[in-house]
Amino acid sequence: MKDRVIAIGDIHGCATALRVLIRELKPNPQDTIITLGDYVNRGPDSRGVIDHLIDLQSKCKLIPLLGNHDQMLLSNRANRSQIPGKPIRDQENGLESFNSKHFDFLNSCRKHYEIDSHFFLHANYDAKKSLDDQDDYTMLWSHLDSRLPKRHTSKKIAVVGHTEQQSGEILNQGHLICIDTYCYGDGWLTALDVRSGTLWQANQESEIRQSRL
């Protein structure tokens, strides 16, 4: 299928699940893939996740969005003195380190993205404000558990991550779809083709499953 628009939920260092998912998707240059942020922390291979996404840029139109964990890593880099040639360690993962290539990727991430029918961001939104007027706390940190927004003023469907669905099933509110399905916590990494409603899910055990909205 050509011209697919596919969103991928929070990856959180789950490089194995990401590789399995991308292999199943078989992206082509006509596809747009929007990753919803939180590439680092919690899972075992944050570096591998970013490396794989950098490689994916040559295979499709990749739109990487920024998550709060990615923002924390960037802030950690900005707030400490740099030793030339030395990588920065991810304080939560402890063992992993990142170089300029990884930080360049994270610095390229957007806060939001939209198409004719949907918009995409990491965490949450204010239904009355345009995407350009959203504040960073809402877009990166606000959980749906504490504030489930109404339909956005644009009338477009929101696709978000950040709020873990520990059941492994997406949250579908009609006007809002959350596809963070708790991959790092023995759940699934979810990809959603927003036009067809096809869902693909992969886990760290290299299992794959497919369904529809």
From first CA to last CA, the distance across the chain in angstroms is: 18
Place of tokens 């360690």: 89
| Mean pLDDT to the nearest integer, 33-43 | 96
Q: Find how far residue 39's CA is from the centre of its chain.
A: 7
Q: What is the CATH number of domain 5-212?
A: 3.60.21.10
**pTM score, two decimals?**
0.92
Predicted confidence band of residue 94 (pLDDT cuts 50, 70, 90): low
Per-residue pLDDT for 66 more than 80? Answer: yes
Q: What is the mean pLDDT of the chain?
A: 92
% of the chain residues with pLDDT over 90: 85
Give the mean pLDDT of 14-40.
97
Q: How many residues does the chain have?
A: 213
Q: C-alpha distances in angstroms, 112 versus 1, 7, 17, 51, 67?
A: 25, 12, 24, 22, 10
